[in-house]
Amino acid sequence: MRSKAYRQSSAWTKAGGQLDADSRFLWRFPPRRLSAEEIRDTILQLSGQLDLAAGGPGFRLYRFMQDNVCTYEPLDIHPPDTYRRAVYHQNARASVVDLMTDFDLPDCAFSSPRRAGTTTPLQALTLLNHQFTLDMAKALAGRLLRQTLTQGQVEEAFQLAFQRPPRPMEMEASIAMIEKHGLEAFSRALLNANELIYLD
């Protein structure tokens, strides 16, 4: 982990691309999207809602119903008792968890030595419109209200989400968005940023 190759940035450079476009010689870190569980935990952490309690019973993101057969209905609304790390999620073979399944959560009925890495429109739509994302955008907006000035809200949001200050163009666009659409819409846009869900 201390090697130069391991600590490379994923940033593209023209010189590196001309010499080794596929990065076979590891001149750059290959960009990696976070796994389904990591995306969910990142959103919870960013919004200030992640419950870090260790141990104890897990939680379910589905409602279990049993009539003649067992049915697992995904929750449309995720209550606060589900805001724990994804490692505590009690997955069931027949259940489908919208946010995590859309981001290639393996089917727990089978062994998965390697995860699929797909990119689909459904991922973008789920991240944009799912009630979980809307709730977390609202929570993040509330967290940013500690700053009274719009510029301070944008700076804090970028530090929380990307661990860096906003660039001048980003600051200008963010302030314009907040003034036109509100802090919650800005928070929702942050939760949908590629920079948030890709390791750099």
* Judgement on whether residues 91 and 18 belong to the same structural domain of the protein: no
Query: Which range of residues forms the domain containing residue 100?
Result: 36-199
166/118: higher pLDDT:
166
Per residue in 135-191, pLDDT (tens digit) is 999 999 999 998 889 999 999 999 999 999 999 999 999 999 999 999 999 999 999
* Judgement on whether residues 87 and 164 belong to the same structural domain of the protein: yes
In sequence order, the β-bridge partners of residue 65 are 71
Worst-scoring range by mean pLDDT, 30-39, 85-94, 153-162? 85-94
The amino acid sitting at 99 is L
SS3 letters across the chain: CCCCCCCCCCCCCHHHHHHCCCCCCCCCCCCEECCHHHHHHHHHHHCCCCECCCCCCCECCEEEEECCCEEEEECCCCCHHHCECHHHECCCCCCCCHHHHHCCCCCCCCCCCCCCCCCCHHHHHHHHHCHHHHHHHHHHHHHHCCCCCHHHHHHHHHHHHHCCCCCHHHHHHHHHHHHHHCHHHHHHHHHCCHHHHEEC
Place of tokens 């949001």: 157
* Judgement on whether residues 12 and 78 belong to the same structural domain of the protein: no
CB 84 within 8 A of CB 59: yes
What domain count does the chain have? 2
* Judgement on whether residues 187 and 126 belong to the same structural domain of the protein: yes
Per residue in 56-84, pLDDT (tens digit) is 888 888 888 887 887 878 878 888 999 99
Regarding beta strands 62-66 and 198-199, do their DSSP bridges make them parallel or antiparallel, or are they unpaired? unpaired
* Judgement on whether residues 25 and 88 belong to the same structural domain of the protein: no
* Judgement on whether residues 195 and 117 belong to the same structural domain of the protein: yes
* Judgement on whether residues 147 and 183 belong to the same structural domain of the protein: yes
157/11: higher pLDDT:
157
Model pLDDT, residue 50? 94
Cα(29)–Cα(13) distance, rounded to whole angstroms? 12
* Judgement on whether residues 52 and 131 belong to the same structural domain of the protein: yes
* Judgement on whether residues 86 and 110 belong to the same structural domain of the protein: yes
* Judgement on whether residues 6 and 40 belong to the same structural domain of the protein: no
* Judgement on whether residues 46 and 26 belong to the same structural domain of the protein: no
Model pLDDT, residue 105? 80
Model pLDDT, residue 78? 86
Predicted structure pTM score: 0.85
104/192: higher pLDDT:
192
